[in-house]
């Protein structure tokens, strides 16, 4: 149930921002989910609603968007995007829990090297918070 843990840290962060800016209400929160981050959006949304009850974020609109993973080859500097839909579920799962495993399954499409860095696509972050 890591969706609940993620939702809790999002709600706590949003409430801290609202408090720091003396805002009475949180109107809207935009959240980005990395493509390699496995999150059940339905559970995550439910958790956000439940955890913000009886807080200034109670009526906030939480919107979720996916951020594609970007990989960069360490050999030829080529950058490319990875879409999770194109990975097999067991590969996506393995890469999520063990990002190093990405190097076993993915290769630079230009030079074929397994030596690359994950530039983005992991994690969950708050893109913006609108306060009332």
User: Where does this chain bind Zn ion (CB under 5 A)?
Assistant: 73, 75-76, 78, 108, 110-111, 113
Tokens at 92, concatenated: 């996506």
Q: What's the closest the beta carbon of residue 101 comes to Zn ion, in angstroms? A: 19
Torsion angles phi and psi, residue 2, rounded to 5: -75, -15
- Please give, one letter per residue, the 3-state secondary structure of 34-56: ECCCCCCHHHHHHHHHHHCCCCC
The least distance separating Zn ion from the CB of residue 72, rounded to whole angstroms, comes to: 9
| Residue 108 vs 118, nearer CB to Zn ion | 108
Tell me whether residue 56 or residue 121 sits nearer to Zn ion (CB atom).
121
Min separation Cβ 71 and Zn ion, Å: 10
The least CB distance from residue 56 to Zn ion, in Å, is 48
Q: 2 or 110, CB closer to Zn ion?
A: 110
102/116 Cα distance (integer angstroms): 9
The Cα 54–Cα 15 span in angstroms is 12
Nearer to Zn ion, 57 or 73 (CB): 73
Beta-carbon neighbour count of residue 121 at 10 Å?
23
Of 29, 26, 102, 101, residue with least CA distance to 71:
102
């Amino acid at each position: 149930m890591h969706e609940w843990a993620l939702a809790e840290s999002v709600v706590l962060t949003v409430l801290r921002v609202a408090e720091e800016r003396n805002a009475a209400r949180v109107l809207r929160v935009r959240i980005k989910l990395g493509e390699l981050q496995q999150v059940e959006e339905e559970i995550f949304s439910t958790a956000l609603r439940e955890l913000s009850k009886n807080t200034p974020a109670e009526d906030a609109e939480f919107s979720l968007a996916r951020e594609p993973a970007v990989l960069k080859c360490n050999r030829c500097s080529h950058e490319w995007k990875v879409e999770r839909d194109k990975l097999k579920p067991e590969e996506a799962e393995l890469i999520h829990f063990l990002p190093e495993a990405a190097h076993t399954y993915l290769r630079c499409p230009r030079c074929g090297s397994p030596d690359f860095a994950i530039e983005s696509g992991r994690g969950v972050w708050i893109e913006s918070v609108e306060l009332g």
